[in-house]
Structure formats: C-alpha cells, structure tokens
Amino acid sequence: MAEKNKLELLGLTFQELTELMRNFGQPAYRSRQLWQGLYRERRSSLEQLTNLPLSLREQISTQGYSIGLPSIQKRFTSTDGTVRYLIEFADGQTVETVWMPEGDGGEEGDGSESEARSYDRATICVSSQVGCAVDCQFCMTALLGLLRNLSAGEIVGQILAVLNDQQVDIESQRINLVFMGQGEPFLNFDNFVKAVLLLVEGVGIPESRMTVSTSGIVPRITDFGQLTVRPKLAISLNASNDSSRRELMPITKKWTLEKLMAAARDFPLRNRERLTFEYVLLGGVNDSVQNAREVVELLRGLKAKVNLIAWNPGPEIPYTTPSPERVEAFQQALIRAGIPTFVRKPRGRDIFAACGQLKRTTDLVSIS
C-alpha cells in the first residue's frame, strides 16, 4: 500500500507547481520540468524524475511530497481483451478503471472490419468517486453506496497508472476517455473539472476524445455547459417517462424528467456536436416499442443520439437482459424517427467490467 499522509504532487496545476517551486527557491523553468515529468512523461516516483537535479528531488521528498500515483492492486482480463483494474489509493480505498482496446465498444465503428492491431486505439473508463450515492436500481455500483470522492489527482492518477501499465505512447496511440466508471462525476464536480484540465494540458489527451456521463444533476449540467474546456456530454436517460424513471432512478424525484430535458435543450452545443442519451434496456420494464415512442417524443427537436445498453447482469439485482430481437425493435423505432441510435457492445461482462458492473468484485466465481 502507498504511504499515508504524504502530500501529493499529482493533482497540482501548473500554477500550483510554479508556486511550490518558488517556495523551494527554484528557478521558474523547474516548474515546467516537474509538470512535464509528472503528467506528460508519467514518472511514477521522485527517483524517476531524472529531469530534475538530485538535490531538488531530495528537497521535495523531505518536504513531505510524493508523486501520489495510485497502485494497481489487481487486474482482471476478459476474453474480449478488456482489462478491469482495481486501483488503490494512499488511504487503501480502491476504485475500478477499465481498459478497452480497439475503440469505444463498437457503438459507432466506421463499419470497416477492424484488424486486431496492437492497441493503437483504446478507451479508458474512469471512476470519479469511490462507490456512488445516486442509487439507480439496476446498477451494481449503487450497492457500494458513496464511500468518498476522488481528488483531482486521484482521478488523473488512475488513468496514468493504466497508461503506464499498457505502455501507451500518448503521441501515437489514440486514447479516448469516458467518465463512466464508479460514481457520479457531477456530484464531484470541481475535482472532475480540475482533472479534465490536467488531462488536457498536462497528459495531452484532447477534450474532444472525452465523454462524461451524468445521471442528471441538473444544475451541474448548466455549469458544465459554461466551461471553455469540456468533454462531450452523455445523459443517462434510462426511462421514457417520469414515473418509470422515478422508480429506476430515485434522483428523478429531485430533478424531474421535465427539468432534465429543459437543461438538455438549453445546453450550448459546439459545432457539429450532439448530446448523447444512454438508455439501459431492462427486460419487460422499459424496453417496449411504446417506451421507444415516448423517448422519441422526449428527444424531439434535440440534436441528439442514443446509445442503448442491454442491461449487464449482476448478483442481487432483480432485472433481466432483453433479447437481441427486443433491443433491435427498440433501436429501429428510434432510427425510424430519425434519431441516430447505437447499441453499445458489452465489454468485459465476464470479469464484471461492463457498464454498471463496477463494484470491486474480486470473486469471479460468482459470475454467470
């Protein structure tokens, strides 16, 4: 386990690092070197920050600082190549981060047969909190409850740990990030926003390759729209009317579908950008063609696309996965109404790595 009570460098902005170096009596260019070493070169220990003189590294250490890179406690590898990482932070808390080689789960492939090239394209699914407070009835993460928020440094750190483990060259490999792991990013908004800035400016992943998914924290959707640097937005719709959504996602009692859709309509989209709506299909619950028609009405006039996710099973959760025919019928109903609609291919279901399955399962015997 990493040491406790250390001050962590990861999470500090360029300005904050500059301030720190000034306090250490260092020339300004040292902050640029430290920033580069931490985020672009992803050095994992002070000893490895070899672009800094030994005396400075020692000074940083005696002042109580460490890099603060989380460690990889476990790896689970799926038959489809997906890897679920159990990432451990300094206080011993863990979250999951999922590595999905070859794109974004196949939801919007270019139609060509993609060769199984060695990972020049991959998506990382990122956690923003340990557990989640939102309590969606179909989601395994909800069973953990909210254990704590991740700091900006921890949000970034889990990504760096995975990039290092996969030996990613950020200049030549195309990495997408989806903030769709454990937690509700918009209930840890400031740390999430800070992490995005560090990832864009420090690590070198453009925000155009990032998507954040929210269960519908309405005031934060509005705040998010005002940011100059922001990922794309996905909204977890998951129901076609208010009463159904209240049951599936209790948060709907606070922020009704009407308020959520109003925020979506007001959301300032960039050139050629669309909102994404995710819709988990639960067999016999929200997956009828009538439900699809209601979704069409909800989305009328919006520049939107829909990602359908057939429910990923987990123990203790009383739903079923609809048949492929029912998924197809739902999809076709939306497509006929002119809404681009994709079915998200499940990734890593066999290792509990797929959407809604992240609850730190280590006993894989319970799968199936």
Residues with catalytic roles: 96, 355
Q: How far is the CB of 358 from ligand SF4 (least distance, A)?
A: 8
Q: Is the dihedral of CA 162, 164, 168, 169 positive or negative?
A: positive
Cβ 279 vs Cβ 237: under 8 Å: yes
Output the smallest distance, CB 46 to ligand SAH, in A. Answer: 34
159, interface contact from ligand SAH, ligand SF4, none, CB < 5-8 Å by kind: none
Nearer to ligand SF4, 60 or 132 (CB): 132
Residue 340 CB, nearest approach to ligand SAH (Å): 17
CB of 280 vs ligand SF4, minimal distance in Å: 8
Tokens 């996965």: give the residue.
321
Closer residue to ligand SAH, CB minimum distance, 69 or 343 = 343
Burial (CB < 10 A; 0-12, 13-18, 19+), residue 318, is exposed
Cβ atoms of 83 and 99 within 8 Å: the answer is: yes
Q: Which amino acid, one-letter code, is at 210?
A: M
User: Residue 331 binds what, of ligand SAH, ligand SF4, none (CB under 5 to 8 Å, by partner type)?
Assistant: none
Nearer to ligand SAH (CB atom), residue 8 or residue 154: 154
Q: Which residues would be at the binding site for ligand SAH (CB under 6 A)? A: 138-139, 180, 184, 213-215, 236, 238, 278, 280, 309, 311-312, 355-356
In sequence order, the β-bridge partners of residue 148 are 130
Look up residue 209 and give its two tokens: 């390759």
Binding at 142: pick from ligand SF4, ligand SAH, none (beta carbon under 5-8 Å per type): ligand SF4
8 A C-beta contact, residue 84 and residue 353: yes
Of 114-173, binders to ligand SF4 (CB under 6 A) are 132, 134-136, 139, 141-142
C-alpha distances in angstroms, 328 versus 163, 295, 323, 334?
A: 35, 15, 9, 10
# chain residues binding ligand SF4, by CB under 6 A: 11
Closer residue to ligand SAH, CB minimum distance, 33 or 82: 82
**Least distance between ligand SF4 and beta carbon 125 (Å):** 11
* Beta carbons within 8 Å of 154's beta carbon, 6+ residues apart: 10, 11, 68, 70, 89
State yes or no: residue 215 binds ligand SF4 (CB under 6 A). yes
CB of 213 to ligand SF4, least distance (A): 7
What is the amino acid identity at position 241? N
Q: If contact means CB under 5 to 8 A according to the sort of partner, which of ligand SF4, ligand SAH, none does residue 309 touch? A: ligand SAH
Nearest to 84 by CA among 351, 327, 367: 351
Residue 204, phi-psi category: left (phi > 0), alpha (psi -120 to 50), beta (remainder): left
CB distance 214 to 233 below 8 Å:
yes
Please report whether residue 353 would count as binding ligand SF4 according to CB under 6 A.
no
Task: Identify which of residues 211 and 215 has a Cβ nearer to ligand SF4 in the complex.
Answer: 215
Residues 173-202 that bind ligand SF4 (CB under 6 A): 183-184
- Cβ contact 307:211 at 8 Å: no
**How far lies 189's CA from each of 10, 159, 219, 350, in Å?**
18, 18, 11, 31
Nearer to ligand SF4, 60 or 355 (CB): 355
Contacts with ligand SF4 by CB under 6 A lie at 132, 134-136, 139, 141-142, 183-184, 215, 356
